[in-house]
Amino acid sequence: FFHSLFLGVGKTTLIQKVTQALKSSGVPIDGFYTQEVREGGRRTGFDVVTLSGNRGPLSRVSSDSSASRREYRVGQYVVDLVSFEQLVLPMLRNVS
């Protein structure tokens, strides 16, 4: 119930607006959020988006039910670990 209470209420929009306000005030900010990807009105995955504007695939729906050894899955989604690591790990290494 708690999770469904917060579906579609503008969490990503709020993060984007707060980020813009902080940046325009000169506050140094870094981080990332995930954004839903839709095709034809259907959710097909998620992207990871850094606050500096870089974007890459985080996960996509997989129609193949047989997972390979090197494939990471969460439910129906295949996680693009390489993309996530390329975008997010450098940012996390710079945290002081």
Residue 2 lies in a domain: no
Q: What is the CATH number of the domain that holds 38?
A: 3.40.50.300
User: What's the pLDDT band for 18 if we cut at 50, 70, 90?
Assistant: very high
Q: pLDDT tens digits, residue range 35-94?
A: 999 999 999 999 999 998 899 999 999 876 665 667 889 999 999 999 999 999 988 887
* Residue numbers of the domain that contains 64: 30-93
Give the separation between CA 18 and CA 2, rounded to whole angstroms. 24
Question: What is the predicted pLDDT for the residue at 12?
Answer: 86
Q: For the chain, how many structural domains are there in total?
A: 1
Residue 21 lies in a domain: no
Confidence (pTM): 0.77
Long-range contacts of 18-26 (CB under 8 A, 24+ apart): 19/51
Residue 84 lies in a domain: yes
Neighbours of 49 (CB within 10 A): 20
Residue 1 lies in a domain: no
Mean pLDDT value of segment 16-36: 92
55-61 β-sheet, strand order: 32-39, 42-50, 55-61, 77-79, 72-74
